[in-house]
Structure 1
């Protein structure tokens, strides 16, 4: 392959590639769980190294996956147009002290006295994130709630940073898009590992 700069910064991914393709490739590699695990100690003390591949098909696959990840993290992906989560309870949308609280599928929801709340204490079929005693986001998988970036739980920290505030319609929509983006990110990270195969990258 040779570099060929087009207006959009991309090549045809057959005989040429551009800077946008390289960026997407790197973005995909850095989201490989196996890469992070294999180089965990090194990443603590130095900048990440970028392993290169001579395999054209592997390169193309990683460019595609990296591009999808970039679109998700910019909240520009078409996959975020209709988030799968719900926000079913009307209220003041205020993130109260002691919240957010997460209830996983199979747990008894608020009302049981375990974590407090105004619910009926029923066993939940889907994960919920409560911002106060009654209002919640419904349909949040445990792996999404627990997903971390830079040592922080993304879904938890975003709401904690807004304690005492009323969430606007845009805030509610943004949070639901975040949840959807993280869910898709987890799926794509698995696909990146499948595309890479064995480490070191060849």
Structure 2
């Protein structure tokens, strides 16, 4: 059930449609009478959970390249040309970060920027670099899975048709 709730809660349409309610009340998850839809959403939710815990096998395969200094200090964080830069001169950073990943927010935070801002003035270790690359993979896959969740719901009748109107969890 948790996987299902996680999946539905990551539907972009759900988030925009019920944004006002989500902000002021507990999340109310609609229940579907379709066992196929429920199983698919639970499966997608399970994949999201693994990504967000960085336990998915996908995060072991970076989709970015670290370029520049071997001992990078986080100085001035910026993004341009699909690269997250760590310095003013834009010589050191993570190449291959798409704009949608760079701009992805969780709550009020821009994830890729926030993680680095929390380390401003520090020199990143090899483990830090690898961790950031895992975050980028997780966000990229999250964006893909969120779109997939909406496609699955649309294929089952969309909002609110795919869900029983009266039942909520």
TM-score, scaled to structure 1: 0.76
In the TM superposition, what is the alpha-carbon distance from 1:44 to its structure 2 partner?
Answer: 1.5
1:32 aligns with 2:8: no
Matches within 5 A, 1:150-165: 150-165=107-122
Alignment partner, residue 19 of structure 1: none
Provide the C-alpha distance between the structure 2 equivalents of 1:92 and 1:168, rounded to a whole number of angstroms: 7
In the TM superposition, what is the alpha-carbon distance from 1:190 to its structure 2 partner?
Answer: 0.5
Alignment partner, residue 100 of structure 1: 77
Provide the C-alpha distance between the structure 2 equivalents of 1:173 and 1:136, rounded to a whole number of angstroms: 12
Alignment partner, residue 119 of structure 1: none
Q: What is the root-mean-square deviation of aligned Cα atoms in Å?
A: 0.9
* Aligned pair partner of 1:128 in 83, 101, 106: 83
Provide the C-alpha distance between the structure 1 equivalents of 2:40 and 2:22, rounded to a whole number of angstroms: 24
Alignment partner, residue 74 of structure 1: 53
Alignment partner, residue 51 of structure 1: 30
Q: After superposition, what is the alpha-carbon deviation per residue over 1:47-103, rounded to whole angstroms, capped at 9, x for unaligned?
A: 11011011010011001100100000000111111111000223321001xx21100
Alignment partner, residue 23 of structure 1: 2
Alignment partner, residue 167 of structure 2: none
* Aligned pair partner of 1:60 in 39, 51, 61: 39
Contact 2:71 2:125 in 1 (8 A): no
* Aligned pair partner of 1:148 in 98, 102, 105: 105
SS at match of 1:199: helix
The higher radius of gyration belongs to: 1
SS at match of 2:31: coil
TM-score, scaled to structure 2: 0.90
Provide the C-alpha distance between the structure 2 equivalents of 1:63 and 1:92, rounded to a whole number of angstroms: 42
Provide the C-alpha distance between the structure 2 equivalents of 1:90 and 1:42, rounded to a whole number of angstroms: 47
In the TM superposition, what is the alpha-carbon distance from 1:151 to its structure 2 partner?
Answer: 1.3
**Higher RCO, 1 vs 2 (CA within 8 Å, ≥6 residues apart):** 2
Provide the C-alpha distance between the structure 2 equivalents of 1:188 and 1:82, rounded to a whole number of angstroms: 17
Identify the structure with the greater helix proportion: 2
